[in-house]
Amino acid sequence: MSNSGGEKRETPRIVVQNRKARHEYHVLETWEAGLVLQGTEVKSLREGKGNLQDAYARVDRGEVWLYNMHISPYEQGNRFNHDPLRPRKLLLHSRQIRKLIGQVEKAGLTLVPLDVHFSHGIAKVNLALVRGKQLHDKREDLKKRDAEREMQRAWKE
């Protein structure tokens, strides 16, 4: 099946989102990476039973790994069900990994997953290079968001 001009492109379906990431960190750059999963993990993720709350990524020996992502065991799974907190490999191009290694070694930069989604049936992760926010930065963001809400309410009235 080819993608001709008249075909509609499938939009990614987000199944798990890290809502606190944009509040806690300044997002500097993002990448979309493939996610290596076992069969029961895919089924559980399709049901939306995942958690990115404390998840982070790290580069080990030229490979990128995702840690602390919790995927609940599949309910219809048997004794071959997966370990919920096992490290999962992320698939990126080698030039992207080399760029990540250089940037992560800078002081204070971290790799954090923003969301997990399915694109054309394949599990993908939006991975962000982030710097932690200070408390006053978080307060400024809240003030900006409140001001924008007030302007939208005034505009509607």
What are the structural domains, with CATH classification, of the chain?
13-156 (2.40.280.10)
Are the C-beta atoms of residues 116 and 42 closer than 8 Å to each other?
A: no
pTM beyond cutoff 0.75? no
Could you report the per-residue pLDDT of 43-72, keeping only the tens digit for each?
A: 888 888 888 888 888 888 888 898 988 888
Average pLDDT over residues 21-46: 84
Indicate the helix (H) or strand (E) that contains 140. Answer: helix 135-156
